[in-house]
Amino acid sequence: MSTTAPKKKYRSQKAAKRASLAASYVVLTILSLIWIIPILWIVLTAFRNDLNESGEIIGTVTSNFFPNRPGFQNFADLFTFKMNGVEFVFLRWMGNTLLVSVVCCILSTFLILSVAYCISKLRFKMRKGFMKFSMILGLFPGFMSMIAIYYLLKSIGLSGNPDNPALSLVGLMIAYSAGAGMGFQVAKGFFDVIPNSLVESAKLDGCTNFKIFWKIILPLSKPIIIYTALMAFTGPWMDFIFAKVIIGSTNTAYWTVSVGLYSMLYSDKGNPDYFTKFAAGCVMVGIPITALFMFLQRYYVEGVTAGAVKG
């Protein structure tokens, strides 16, 4: 447009670029601080062993962000401690949750992938009907059906069973996994992107539908398998309402870790003094889940993207 030296223009462009980069750094740094602060606070609280005038540890929320007297007492308490007389078997809760989440992970992934494959790659009567059915069913608020699920499980002895409270963990696995197949949309989005020609040429070669699924589609679907499994695995670690109903408020030994943590603060068994212990528990739960998540982040992004674009 103009005849001024292109060098100057280039230089000013470069300066502008630098300025905008610098601005980005500033904005991003501030934002990431905002994002991290609450989490950092919980972690710091977990290590807080501040004392009151009488020399007792203050367990409630306090006004200081950083602990005055850091230490590991809260973590030690998690393993030895009794809450209002009820044994708080934190490790056992972790174990219960792990058991439930591993089983759920396997069952749900199996259900979700099989449904998603059918809907995406097979054409049959009632296919669209099934899609709409699943969508409509998903719109009912979940906890309204909680009571019915409790009684259904109870009538087969898998919940509210005074003789075998451990069976309610099996009930919980079933309750978590049973509805999983209805959440096939993300995986379907992923399968949709796999070219149909692949399926068709395999059919011409005489492959059965089962073989196509097992030998061709699944090996191509590592990201979505991992995504689905990750979601199914983390679910039981986060739910604190459903699990309490299914397992029952007196069966503390069979609680999952989120029921336990939530109850430490907000239930009749809880106490405001347990906040630092609660924080320690959160750190114990948060570390493995976050590590797993970070480790598998790539697949998660692929899954989210696939689900969003085609879901």
Partner 1 sequence: MAKAKQIGANKKRNWFLRTWDNFVFKLEEFGKRFVDGSIGTKLSHFVFGAGNFYHKQYIKGALFLLLQVGIILFMVLCPSVNGEYYGYKALVNLALGGSKGGEFDKETGEQLPPSDDKLRLLFGLVTIAVIVIFFIIWLANIKSSYKADLDVKQGKKPTTFIEDLKELLDTRFHLLMLTPTLVAALVFTLLPTIFMICMAFTTYNDFDMTAENTTLFYWNGVNNFVYMFTGQSQLGKEISARFFPVLGWTFLWAIFATFTCYFGGIILAILINKKGLMGKKIFRTAFVLTIAIPQFISLLAVRNLFSSYGPVNTLLQNMGLISEPIGFFGLNDNDNEILAKVMVIVINMWLGIPYTMLMTSGILMNIPTDLYEAGQIDGASKTKMFWKITLPYVIFVTTPYLIGSFIGNINSFNTIFLLTGGGPTYSGYKAGGTDLLVTWLYKLTIENGEYNTGAVIGIMTFIITATITLITYTRSKAYNEEDTFQ
Partner 2 sequence: MKKTRLLGSFVLFGATVLGLASCGGSENKIVLWVGEESYEFYTQACKEYLEANTDFGFTVEVKSQDTGTAAAQVIADATAAADVFTVAHDNIGKLVQGKYVKPITNEELTNQINADNPQPFIDVAYSSLAGEKQLYASPYISQALFLMYDKRSVSDTQAASFEGLAEAAKAKGAKVKGWTVTGTDGFNFSFTVLARNNETKATSLKLFEGGVKTKGSCWFQGDDEVASMKWVQKALKDPNGMMWASDAGWYQDIQNGATVSVIGGAWHFKTFSNSVGSENVGIAKIPTYTLTSETAFGTAAAGTVMRGGTFADCKCFMINARSAGSKYVAEQKLIQYLSSKAIQDKSFIACNNMPAYKGFADKLDMIKKEHPELSDNSIKLARAQSDMGEYGLAQPFINGTLNTYYYSKGGPELYKVMADQYDTSTKKEVFLTDADIQKGLYRIQYIWQHGKEIDEKLIPATLPAEID
Exactly one of 208, 215, 249, 250 binds partner 1 (CB under 8 A); that residue is 208
Q: Binding partner 2 by CB under 8 A: which of 11, 14, 17, 82?
A: 82
Residues 40-69 that bind partner 1 (CB under 8 A): 41-42, 61-65
User: Computed over its alpha carbons, how large is the radius of gyration of the chain?
Assistant: 26
Decide which of partner 1, partner 2, none touches 122; Cβ closer than 5 to 8 Å per partner kind: partner 1
For the segment 140-179, give every residue that binds partner 1 (CB under 8 A).
140-141, 143-149, 151-152, 154-155, 174-175, 177-179
Q: Which of residues 245-274 bind partner 2 (CB under 8 A)?
A: 248-252, 268-269, 271-273
Q: Cα torsion at 248, 230, 189, 217 (round to 10°)? A: -120
C-alpha closest to that of 195 among 124, 131, 121, 302 = 121
d(CA 15, CA 184): 49
Tell me the three state secondary structure of residue 236. helix
Half-sphere exposure (Cβ direction) of 224: Cα atoms closer than 13 Å? 25
Local structure of 293: helix, strand or coil: helix
From partner 1, partner 2, none, which one binds at residue 117 (CB under 5 to 8 Å depending on kind)? partner 1
Q: Whose Cβ is closer to partner 1: residue 57's or residue 292's?
A: 292
Residue 103 binds partner 2 (CB under 8 A): yes
Partner that binds at residue 65, options partner 1, partner 2, none, CB closer than 5 to 8 Å by kind: partner 1
61 closest CA partner among 72, 50, 53 = 50
When binding is defined by CB under 8 A, the residue of 159, 170, 181, 221 that contacts partner 1 is: 181
Q: Which stretch binds partner 1 (CB under 8 A): 3-11, 67-75, 126-134, 246-254?
A: 126-134
Q: Find which of partner 2, partner 1, none residue 219 binds, CB within 5 to 8 Å per kind.
A: none
Q: Does 164 bind partner 2 (CB under 8 A)?
A: yes
Instruction: Identify residues 92-111 at the interface with partner 1 (CB under 8 A).
Output: 111
Find tokens 């790659």 and name the residue. 121
- Residue 110 in the binding site for partner 2 (CB under 8 A): yes
**What is the H or E stretch that residue 200 is in?**
helix 196-204
**Could you say whether residue 307 binds partner 1 (CB under 8 A)?**
yes
CA distances from 301 to 183, 290, 297, 298, 305 (A): 18, 15, 6, 5, 6
SS (H, E, C) 109-133: HHHHHHHHHHHHHCCCCCHHHHHHH
Kindly state the number of chain residues that form the binding site for partner 1, as judged by CB under 8 A: 96
